[in-house]
Homo-oligomer: A and B are copies of this chain.
Amino acid sequence: MSLVVVGSVAYDGVETPAGSVERMLGGACTYISLAASFFTEVAIVGVVGDDFRSEDAQLLAGRGIDLAGLEHAPGKTFFYSCTYSADMNERTTLRTDLNVFADFEPKLPEHYRRQPYLFLGNIQPALQRSVRAQMTAVRAVGGDTMNYWIRETREELLATIKEWDFLLINDSEARQLSGHSDLRRAAAAILEMGPRTLIVKRGEHGAVLFGPQGHFTAPGYLLEHLVDPTGAGDCFAGGFFGYLAGRREAVEDPRELRRAVIYGSVMGSFCCEQFGVDRFRTLTRAEIDGRFQEFREFTGF
């Protein structure tokens, strides 16, 4: 085991122009851990309710994911539903039932605490900090957040990300967090807040990594069949951080960081090809490396 992932485990209802699914496995922790599991050993921390299906636990366990930190609480699992616009660039939330997730207090099993890599999915910053504090020998911490925490719990968030090596957010969050509309200035301001490296996710337009060695731009992958973008950003995070953890990377080699961004993009792109986590049921490492090679081919000049 090497990477601990914390975040929501949920059931999602999703409607896209390609179809709809009433209820399927979802949640940031689920997507991040599944994507990362192709690169390194993963252990998750989350909470589910009585309705959590054993087949969903089996999917995760089948990918070697340690579920010792997945708490089972009385009540229902977090449920979220949404619908996408025709071009799938806009998402409208239909329902958010926090259920057992409302009282989530992540407690790390003893054997998690000595692990070297930690990724904090988008949850309340104070909880992210409490998890970070439980880790005793961490080499690198990455995390995500969202507009709600930036707006409502700004001071707490700033104290939290100060301890992180990597912050992964989307462009509107980067602008909101920094107060700068210009992405370069936004990034410079955010790097002053603590994280050594910032990755700005831009959806279909790829991602940009900003760090001490300047920036690196990865384009989006042009999908043949976009089915469901839910979880793509989390799969980017899982691919990115999972790759680094798998390399036992001390997060300072700029070439490895660039490759990690591409692996993140690769995992985000696969995620969109089927509903929910379905693509990860059949995906192989050979397919992943094939797409990594495709990125080389369509970006080189």
A residues touching B (Cβ–Cβ < 8 Å)? 86-87, 181-184, 202, 205-206, 208, 214-220, 222-226, 255, 258-259, 261-262, 295-301
Residue of B nearest to A172 (CB): B87
Which B residues are CB-close (under 8 A) to A297?
Answer: 214
A182 CB contact (under 8 Å) in B182, B218, B226, B262: B226
Q: Kindly report how many copies of this chain are found in the complex they form together.
A: 2
Structural contact, B301 and A258, CB atoms closer than 8 A = yes
Structural contact, A301 and B255, CB atoms closer than 8 A = yes
Which B residues are CB-close (under 8 A) to A216?
Answer: 298-299, 301
Determine the distance from Cα of A224 to Cα of B214 in the docked complex, in whole angstroms. 13
28 intermolecular pairs with C-beta atoms under 8 Å apart: A86-B181, A182-B224, A182-B225, A182-B226, A183-B222, A184-B222, A184-B224, A205-B205, A205-B206, A206-B219, A208-B222, A214-B297, A214-B298, A215-B298, A216-B301, A217-B219, A217-B220, A217-B298, A217-B299, A218-B301, A219-B219, A255-B301, A258-B300, A258-B301, A295-B301, A296-B301, A299-B301, A300-B300
Which B residues are CB-close (under 8 A) to A182?
Answer: 223-226
Determine the distance from Cα of A224 to Cα of B215 in the docked complex, in whole angstroms. 13
Determine the distance from Cα of A101 to Cα of B141 in the docked complex, in whole angstroms. 60
Known: A181-B87, A296-B301. A217 touches B208 (CB 8 A): no
Structural contact, A184 and B262, CB atoms closer than 8 A = no
Which B residues are CB-close (under 8 A) to A225?
Answer: 182
What is the minimal beta-carbon distance from A264 to any residue of chain B, in angstroms?
12
Determine the distance from Cα of A110 to Cα of B190 in the docked complex, in whole angstroms. 59
What is the minimal beta-carbon distance from A210 to any residue of chain B, in angstroms?
9
Residue of B nearest to A219 (CB): B217
Determine the distance from Cα of A220 to Cα of B258 in the docked complex, in whole angstroms. 17
Determine the distance from Cα of A182 to Cα of B87 in the docked complex, in whole angstroms. 8
Which B residues are CB-close (under 8 A) to A258?
Answer: 300-301
Residue of B nearest to A224 (CB): B184
What is the minimal beta-carbon distance from A256 to any residue of chain B, in angstroms?
10
Residue of B nearest to A183 (CB): B222
A301 CB contact (under 8 Å) in B181, B215, B262: B262
What is the minimal beta-carbon distance from A103 to any residue of chain B, in angstroms?
39
Determine the distance from Cα of A226 to Cα of B86 in the docked complex, in whole angstroms. 30
Known: A258-B301, A296-B301. A184 touches B223 (CB 8 A): yes
Which B residues are CB-close (under 8 A) to A206?
Answer: 205, 219
